[in-house]
Amino acid sequence: MQERKIKLVFSYRGTAYHGFQRQRVLPSVQGEMEKVLKRLVGHEVSLAVSGRTDAGVHARYQTAHFITTCGIPGERFVQAMNTFLPDDIVVLESKEMPFDFHARYDVVEKTYRYRILNQRQSDPFLLDRAYWVRVPLRIEQMRAAAEHFIGTHDFTSFCSVRTHVDSKVRTIYEIRIDVEERDPYVKGQGQDIWLTFRGSGFLYNMVRMLTGALLEVGKGRWTPEYVKDMLASKSPSVRKVNVPPQGLYLWDVKYKE
């Protein structure tokens, strides 16, 4: 039969997985999805994804494609896959695409969000879905620091030393910090703080390190000007703060028309 390219849009809770990428022994999102696809289409399948996520990171809208020779209509993969996938991975959309589509190389914009639980006590229901910060944060200072990241910059100072790419120049279109009161009627409840990063693309650990820098500002340890100098230094050896993965969500992926 003729080969076809199928695009998948899906969500997952990353708690139980050692990242998206297929692992030899350990559970992964890719491993679970490819196992189900092989059962459905009758041959080995390799998913090409918009971008890998680390262990413990979640995705609201992740995108991938695969090639198959089976005759299942593209839109039918939603119901078929969800029948066999674990409950923490859900396919939201599937459709056949032209062969010049690529889930990774055609991305024009990505949005990540990082969730912070800002209150004196922890919340056992959010341990794997948010990062707990007990000290009150200076939100306006964080917003002032975030302004320095907007635009096109070399983000060498805010990515993992294991980042091996030709260029570390990326464009950030927006960084938004939203504060939501958790429950004003319950004493001791604090705030949900969401940091939203929208850009052309992001380097390995870049969002977590930008968040770490903004939190240092929010705690009063760093100033917005210090963060500006860090960015300008373009130094891989500059001091970094890499926040934990459980607060990070791949929120959206956009493609050219």
89 and 116 share one domain: no
Tokens of 54: 């680390």
134 and 31 share one domain: no
Specify the pLDDT at position 189: 66
Tokens of 233: 């230094």
DSSP SS3 for 33:
helix
CA distance 31 to 115: 27
122 and 232 share one domain: yes
The answer to whether 54 is a known catalytic residue is: yes
Look-up of token digits 């000007």:
225
249 and 138 share one domain: yes
Cα separation values, 140 from 94, 95, 123, 136, 220, Å = 41, 43, 25, 12, 11
Known binding site: residues? 112
Domain with 144 in it: what CATH number?
3.30.70.660
Known binding site for substrate: residues? 112
Look-up of token digits 């997985």:
17
Helix axes 206-218, 139-146, angle to 10 degrees: 140
CA distance 150 to 58: 24
Domain with 15 in it: what CATH number?
3.30.70.580
Specify the pLDDT at position 27: 97
pTM for the full predicted model: 0.94
Please indicate, yes or no, if residue 242 is contained in any of the structural domains.
yes
* Residue at a domain's end among 62, 97, 132: 97
Count: domains in the chain: 2
91 and 138 share one domain: no
92 and 123 share one domain: no
Cβ–Cβ < 8 Å for 170, 200: yes
* Residue at a domain's end among 97, 132, 148: 97
Domain that holds residue 66: 4-97
Specify the pLDDT at position 136: 93
pLDDT tens for the chain, 257 residues long, are 799 999 999 999 999 999 999 999 999 999 999 999 999 999 999 999 999 999 999 999 999 999 999 999 999 999 999 999 999 999 999 999 999 999 999 999 999 999 999 998 888 999 999 999 999 999 999 999 999 999 999 999 999 888 888 899 999 999 999 998 876 655 556 899 999 999 999 999 999 999 999 999 999 999 999 999 999 999 988 989 999 999 999 999 999 87
* Residue at a domain's end among 97, 120, 145: 97
**Catalytic residue (choose from 54, 106, 128, 154):** 54
Please indicate, yes or no, if residue 46 is contained in any of the structural domains.
yes
Please indicate, yes or no, if residue 102 is contained in any of the structural domains.
no
Nearest to 245 by CA among 145, 136, 89, 127: 127
